[in-house]
Amino acid sequence: MVFENLVDSYHGSAEARKNIHVAQNLAGMAFSNALLGIVHSLAHKVGVTYGVTHGRCNAIMLPYVIEYNSVVTEKRFADIARALGLNGATNKQLTNSLVEAIKILNGQLGIPLSYQAAGVDEKIFLDTLDTMAEAACGDPCTLFNPRKTEFENMKKVLRCCYYGTDVNF
């Protein structure tokens, strides 16, 4: 529902807005049952520190966290890509298609692909990187991330989100 309606909703379609309202309610119910992972634990810290709204933080981070988590959840991401009708012959190709589709969607919504592109000052980012990673590690959402995430990997994910580089660790 999100992929089919979000851009039209963004551009003012009343029908698409209604569908997004339903989709976000369904997502909220799912969140309350399944809890969340490091996209949210990072967004909780990054948004407040860098003045980026929570939704924008999540959108910027999502492709990078999918890449990070795909080490242990590639089949699930491939299933999502198949459900969206994305191209790919293998789970890896499908997961890559999902990441790319999210980046394209972000672009259609005017969401930058990195925190650097969102205007977060590099010195401030580097000065707060350890604090952000440590705080995110202690966030309850981190416990529910499919891939175990400790301090050093949290820092690496944040760096990828800041600079817009692929996650390959």
pLDDT tens for each residue of 116-167? 999 999 999 999 999 999 999 999 999 999 999 999 999 999 999 999 999 9
Residue 23: partners with Cβ closer than 8 Å, 6 or more residues away: 1, 2, 5
pLDDT of the residue at 166: 95
pLDDT of the residue at 1: 93
Cα–Cα distance measured from residue 41 to residue 92, given in angstroms and rounded to the nearest whole number: 25
Q: Which helix (H) or strand (E) holds 118?
A: none
Residue corresponding to tokens 């963004």: 10
pLDDT of the residue at 36: 87
The residue-averaged pLDDT of 71-84 equals 97
Residue 57: partners with Cβ closer than 8 Å, 6 or more residues away: 42, 43, 46, 47
pLDDT of the residue at 115: 97
Q: For 13-68, what is each residue's pLDDT tens digit?
A: 999 999 999 999 998 888 777 778 999 999 989 989 999 999 999 999 999 999 99
pLDDT higher than threshold 90 for residue 90 = yes
pLDDT of the residue at 32: 77
Cα–Cα distance measured from residue 67 to residue 36, given in angstroms and rounded to the nearest whole number: 16
**pTM reported for the whole predicted model:** 0.92
Residue 112 Rama label (left phi>0; alpha psi -120 to 50; beta): beta
Q: For 91-102, what is each residue's pLDDT tens digit?
A: 999 999 999 999
What amino acid is encoded at 27 in this protein? Answer: A
In angstroms, how far is the first alpha carbon of the chain from the final one?
A: 31
